Amino acid sequence: MSDSKASSKVHLTFKQNLDMIKPYVKKRILEQIKSVWLIVLYLIVFQTLILGIPISEASIISVGIILVVAGLTFFMEGLVLGLMPLGEIIGVKLPQKSKLPVILTFSFILGMGATFAEPAVGILQVAGSSVKAWDAPLLFLLLNKYSNYLVYSVGIGVGIAVVFGMLRFLYGWSLKPFLYIMIPGLLAISALAALDPNLIYLTGLAWDCGGVTTGPVTVPLVLALGIGISRIVNKGGDSGSGGFGVVTLASAFPILTVMILGAFFLFSVPKPMAEADFLSSQNRAATVYLFSSPENMTGYVLQNASKNGQLTYFNGDPALMLSSIRQLAQDNQLKKAVFGEKAEAAFSNWALFKATDEQKLAIFGNAEAISKETDRYLASGAKGVDAWELTVRNSVAAVQAIVPLCVFFFLVLWLILRERIPRKDELLLGIAFAVIGMGIFSVGIELGLSKLGGQVGEKLPAAFKSIELADQKTVVRNFDPAVVQTAISDQGVREQFFYLSGDNRYTALTYNPAGFDQASRQYSYVPKKGPLFGATGGMLGILVVLIFAFIMGYGATLAEPALNALGLTVEELTVGTFKKSLLMQAVAIGVGLGIGLGVAKIIWGIPLIWLLAPPYVLLMFITKTCTEEFVNIGWDSAGVTTGPITVPLVLAMGLGIGGQVGVVEGFGILAMASVYPILSVLLVSLWVNRKQKSALQEAAAEIA
Amino acid sequence: MRRELMNMNTTIRIAKVTCEVYKSLAPLAIASLRKQNIEHVHAHSRRAVVLREQSTFSFLPTITGLDEDPAEVLEFYLPWSQAEQVLKTVVREVNLSAPGRGSIYAEEVQLRNPEGVDFINSNVTLSGDAQPELILTELASINCVVQRGQGNEIARHALEAGTNVPAISFGLGTGLRNKLGLIRVTIPAEKELVNVIVHAQDRDEIMNALIQAGRLDQPGNGFIGASPVGFGVLNPKTFRGKQRYSASMEQVITAIDQLKTGTEWRKKTVSLQRSDVYLKKSFLHDLLNMTLICNEGKSSDIVNAAISAGAGGATISKIKYSTMTASKHAVSPAREAISMGVSPKSVEAIIHAIEAAGAFGSDTACIVETKPLPLACTYLGK
């Protein structure tokens, strides 16, 4: 029997096909527009109307947003047609045809594979990009030199989680004991870790890893697999709408494995110390361990250390420093060792914009050469977006994230289960849709959403303090300090300013001597903005930021594909009694709250554990009173919130604010965005349960 | 010939008992079945829909909305002669005679078991003390298949026509869809199956009301059919909200039922309207409802075979098979139920076709259940 007999097949004309495709496509695109419009409109309105700053690169961003909508449309359809049915088929077939060790091995490989396929470590590296090696050596080591160990340990964590998840389904174990043991355990470990200056920075990373690893491919696959396995387990009468809970475990186990990894390297790394101590030659033996090579360390120091720090690094000898740099400029081999892959670009960027005047002179010889090089570099950099590179990179990532896992599933079906796959054409179409969709929306996010989010995030602190608008930086060539004039205020305070001509008018600009570069004879200035609401650091401004963070978290969450998939599944399994929209609203409000508090953490520098422990402790009590079904759904919502839409936006904002108020790392917001949705979903479920119970009691009262 | 094909394993009358209770009462119902040694049960989830009077502010007029609650459906086959006693025991143990907890009813069906497994629960432990529970007789089960999202509208009309609590489950439609190439993904397959049990006398009127509500005689809107139900206890608690009298309507109904020792008095007295006469003509008569229950993943093969042998289309829903006792069965718990309205003439051909497709082998373990479908309606083309 084939799926579609040639004899009974109905053939449609091209026009008929088109007539069928039109409403289908329209409905799905509208769905995605509905999920994305809020966050996009909000970001635009906020930046243009409230902050009063124009959006730069508006056309590229709007192309990006169109791509996000198109990509999400494909991806969601791909999930529904391809990935989720595939996961469910395996879930139903595997326990029937194979023994426990095979199931568990499969689960472990799936968990590991999913982590490697969706390497969230890139996101974590961005989050930790502002971490200086001397402030948090262990964190720096794991994010850079040993970032692959970090991925392995997260992969192992997710693998173990999927194994336990499947065991739960097979033996009907409750999720609650896992939570009662794991969450207090992890909190205790984190509290202990806070005693060690190195580990304290790692806690934020560890808690974020958990949430970040469960991406838009892993979640639907694991959910579908769990649903399939639950369907095959005889629970003695109940129709059992199980299948949830794996995502929760997949968020919790990596916290543990990352902390263990940290403990393993703890004694190999130096303690956090001042920059000068870290770079001094006495500590070199210990500090060079954090880098892949001494040259790599040189590169890091040149690009990240302060002027004095660099001097310390070269044994306090300016001549040695300059000669080393001169040698570096000429030796391409060395350049590669110091600056890594794209050595030439990184070197130019450093030499022209970060190097001190002496270093510049050492590299380029004289002032004219510097300004010529600057012109050349700026001209070459003004090309804009490299569309081809962007497309290729994201397509490759999409294929990597989806195809190997699907091939693995198909192989298991064919080789181990020896099962003919029903509706194969539909599954393959779905997988193709998912790959296409993921490729398109990753490009779109990079071009549109994360740019827009980054711009707003960077400028958000303008609400409560004065910030520099770096993207509106202007450079005046051949500046002559002679044009600078002096003005006086009614209090007698003197201020220097000069007139800038252009656009047929003269603008008076404050003169800041630090903006003038003697060597290149350039004056660069950066316009300032803020504080827009009240005084610097005033409550009103901070309140605006917190409200912004809340709405952004809320809007971004509604657009998350993994949450949409979870919502669909929940609605399907509860036959519509727990609506997708109710779940999504509850989760979105939770994420909004979490992100708001995460931002508060950054602004006021509140330790993460203070903000994580109370909600988790509260959750322990609520979990006890909730039904098993809702506990599973509620805790799973935590893992799905941190996906491809929320993460870049949140990180951009977190780093933007963090950069403006000067904190070490931007970790922890994502962990906050994970815990509060659990709280909101469980509270909603308590309310739903109460309503159902009171209806039954109403009926019971009538009997009596 | 048909009888022979159908009741291959047995010649006794078979009852299919359906017990539908609110989710939190499911353990109670399962315990009751287990006590009576009911071994083979198929279960699935539904949502029960009732009217809810919503009063947001006291000065605003009240609106009637719908309350949807999860319900668990347990279905099992047993000899007809034992059905009444088993049903009464469940009614007593789950207290279903109290309104607002659930319903249970029995239909007479014909059954063909797959090879090697007998899904008929013939070793029932009857409890000795059969109490005189009030059981309704001469009922009809109305089943309506509509597009996903339309179910509540049908349920509301049923409720407003004064039925007992309707319930909705999810399914996937197939038929023409299967004959298309990949373009089939553009046709939404998700359906909602609305089920409501009514008194046989009210059947035609309520069907008319639902056909009008869902415009089911128009193309692409769905299917409705009614089959007879022998007896049962239903859930009349269709309304939640403020109670304006010292007793609720459900209490009054139950009390009168007991006084009159029956439900004859409940017959609706609405006369047929003109539009109903028109609708009467479009009814299909004397079809059979055929339900095939097979292992998950096998339904597309079986549906294809059935369609090639003359079935029009089918609705597939996921259900779960459980053995209540510890005894191990080769049958997978993950099952699919395929429901079709077919002409009696094609039954034989369909059974042969699905048999050729391997339906009765241990890999598929397909049950064939048929019951009369005296009245049905759908769009039949120009």
- Residue A240: what pLDDT? 57
| Mean pLDDT, residues A44-72 taken together | 83
pLDDT beyond 70 at B1 = no
Please tell me which residue of chain B has the smallest CA distance to A9.
B179
pLDDT beyond 60 at B356 = yes
**Rounded distance between C-alpha atoms, residue B19 and residue B25, angstroms:** 11
Based on the domain organization, do A492 and A612 belong to the same domain? no
| Mean pLDDT, residues A688-700 taken together | 78
**With bands split at pLDDT 50, 70 and 90, how would you rate the model's confidence at A144?**
confident
| Mean pLDDT, residues A82-100 taken together | 88
Nearest Cα residue to A650 out of A572, A698, A576, A598: A598
Please tell me which residue of chain B has the smallest CA distance to A22.
B186
- Residue A1: what pLDDT? 39
Per DSSP, the three-state class of A476 is strand
Query: Per the domain annotation, does A8 fall within a domain?
Result: no
Ramachandran class of A57: left when φ > 0, alpha when ψ lies in -120 to 50, beta otherwise: left
Contact: B186, A20; criterion CB under 8 Å: yes
- Residue A120: what pLDDT? 67
- Residue A104: what pLDDT? 93
pLDDT beyond 80 at B263 = no
Based on the domain organization, do A402 and A313 belong to the same domain? no
Identify the residue among A89, A577, A578, A688 best suited for mutation to test binding to B, counting B beta carbons within 10 A and taking the highest: A577
Contact: A238, B185; criterion CB under 8 Å: no
pLDDT beyond 60 at A383 = no
**With bands split at pLDDT 50, 70 and 90, how would you rate the model's confidence at B355?**
very high
Query: Per the domain annotation, does A626 fall within a domain?
Result: yes
**With bands split at pLDDT 50, 70 and 90, how would you rate the model's confidence at A690?**
confident
Contact: B100, A422; criterion CB under 8 Å: no
pLDDT beyond 90 at A317 = no
Per DSSP, the three-state class of B73 is strand
A653 vs B295, more confident: B295
Based on the domain organization, do A400 and A544 belong to the same domain? yes
Largest CA distance in chain A: 99
Based on the domain organization, do A574 and A658 belong to the same domain? yes
pLDDT beyond 90 at B16 = yes
H/E run at residue A108: helix A100-117
Query: Per the domain annotation, does A5 fall within a domain?
Result: no
Q: What is the mean pLDDT of chain B?
A: 84
Contacts of A231 in chain B (CB under 8 A): 296, 318, 320, 333-334
**With bands split at pLDDT 50, 70 and 90, how would you rate the model's confidence at B32?**
very high
**With bands split at pLDDT 50, 70 and 90, how would you rate the model's confidence at A680?**
very high
- Residue B317: what pLDDT? 94
Query: Per the domain annotation, does A436 fall within a domain?
Result: yes
Based on the domain organization, do A332 and A417 belong to the same domain? no
pLDDT beyond 50 at A308 = yes
**Residues spanned by the domain of A264:** 34-268+388-462+538-698
Backbone torsions φ then ψ of B335, nearest 5 degrees: -130, 160
Sign of CA dihedral A142, A143, A144, A148: positive
List of residues 6+ apart from B366 with CB closer than 8 A: B114, B292, B293, B294, B295, B298, B302, B354, B359, B360
pLDDT beyond 90 at A374 = no
Contact: B297, A89; criterion CB under 8 Å: yes
Based on the domain organization, do A330 and A447 belong to the same domain? no
List of residues 6+ apart from A257 with CB closer than 8 A: A153, A154, A156, A157, A160
Q: What is the pLDDT of residues A477-498, one digit of tens each?
A: 788 888 888 888 888 888 888 8
Please tell me which residue of chain A has the smallest CA distance to B330.
A96
**Rounded distance between C-alpha atoms, residue A26 and residue A416, angstroms:** 40
Contacts of A429 in chain B (CB under 8 A): 182, 185
Q: Which of A381, A404, A438 is the last residue of a domain?
A: A381
pLDDT beyond 50 at B90 = yes
**Rounded distance between C-alpha atoms, residue A38 and residue A26, angstroms:** 19
Q: How many helices (H) and strands (E) does chain A have?
A: 30, 8
Q: Terminal CA-to-CA distance of chain A, rounded, Å?
A: 59
pLDDT beyond 80 at B373 = yes
A203 vs A467, more confident: A203
- Residue A69: what pLDDT? 92
Residue type, A527: P
Based on the domain organization, do A353 and A488 belong to the same domain? no
- Residue A670: what pLDDT? 81
Determine the Cα angle at B149 with ends B49 and A688, to 5°. Answer: 45
Query: Per the domain annotation, does A568 fall within a domain?
Result: yes
Distance from CA of B333 to the nearest CA of A (A): 5
Based on the domain organization, do A76 and A194 belong to the same domain? yes
Query: Per the domain annotation, does A592 fall within a domain?
Result: yes
| Mean pLDDT, residues A605-633 taken together | 87
Based on the domain organization, do A229 and A374 belong to the same domain? no
Backbone torsions φ then ψ of B49, nearest 5 degrees: -115, 125
- From A220-234, A267-281, B239-253, the region with the lowest mean pLDDT: B239-253
Most confident of A277-286, B8-17, B69-78: B69-78
Based on the domain organization, do A302 and A360 belong to the same domain? yes
Q: What is the pLDDT of residues A350-364, one digit of tens each?
A: 887 777 777 878 888
List of residues 6+ apart from A228 with CB closer than 8 A: A87, A88, A89, A90, A91, A92, A93, A94, A243, B334
Question: Is the Cβ of A5 closer than 8 Å to some Cβ of chain B?
Answer: yes
Based on the domain organization, do A443 and A576 belong to the same domain? yes
H/E run at residue B78: strand B63-79
- From A281-285, A433-437, A663-667, B84-88, the region with the lowest mean pLDDT: A663-667
Per DSSP, the three-state class of A306 is coil
Per DSSP, the three-state class of B380 is coil
CA torsion A431-A437-A439-A444 (nearest 10°) is -170
pLDDT beyond 50 at A6 = no
- From A115-129, A363-377, B88-102, B352-366, the region with the lowest mean pLDDT: A115-129
**With bands split at pLDDT 50, 70 and 90, how would you rate the model's confidence at A7?**
very low
**Which tokens sit at A23?**
């409403």
Answer whether A116's CB lies under 8 Å from A157's CB.
no
Q: Which of A338, A356, A381 is the last residue of a domain?
A: A381
- Percent over 90 (pLDDT), chain A: 19
Per DSSP, the three-state class of A246 is helix
Q: Which of A381, A406, A422 is the last residue of a domain?
A: A381
- Residue A131: what pLDDT? 78
- For chain A, the domain total comes to 3
Contact: B47, A575; criterion CB under 8 Å: yes
Residues 96-155 of B with CB under 8 A from A: 98-101, 151
| Cα radius of gyration (chain B) | 21
Contacts of B253 in chain A (CB under 8 A): none
- Residue B72: what pLDDT? 93
Backbone torsions φ then ψ of B332, nearest 5 degrees: -70, 140
Q: What is the mean pLDDT of chain A?
A: 83
- Percent over 70 (pLDDT), chain A: 93
| Mean pLDDT, residues B337-366 taken together | 91
Contact: B30, A236; criterion CB under 8 Å: yes
- Residue A238: what pLDDT? 61
pLDDT beyond 90 at A218 = no
- From A351-355, A547-551, A560-564, B46-50, the region with the lowest mean pLDDT: A351-355
SS3 sequence of A612-647: HHHHHHHHHHHHHHCCHHHHHHHHHHHHHHCCCCHH
Answer whether A684's CB lies under 8 Å from A633's CB.
no
Contact: B185, A81; criterion CB under 8 Å: yes
> ipTM of this model?
0.86
Query: Per the domain annotation, does A4 fall within a domain?
Result: no
- Interface A–B counts its CB contacts (< 8 A) at 152
Return the exposure string of A195-231: e unless at least 16 CB atoms fall within 10 Å of the residue's CB, then b: ebebbbbbbbbbbbbbbbbbbbbbbbbbbbbbbbbbb
- For A10, the closest of B22, B24, B180 (CB atoms) is B180
- From A103-107, A119-123, A418-422, the region with the lowest mean pLDDT: A119-123
Answer whether B62's CB lies under 8 Å from B68's CB.
no
Query: Per the domain annotation, does A20 fall within a domain?
Result: no
- From A465-474, A551-560, B65-74, B316-325, the region with the lowest mean pLDDT: A465-474
Based on the domain organization, do A500 and A546 belong to the same domain? no
Question: Is the Cβ of B300 closer than 8 Å to some Cβ of chain A?
Answer: yes
Contacts of B47 in chain A (CB under 8 A): 574-577
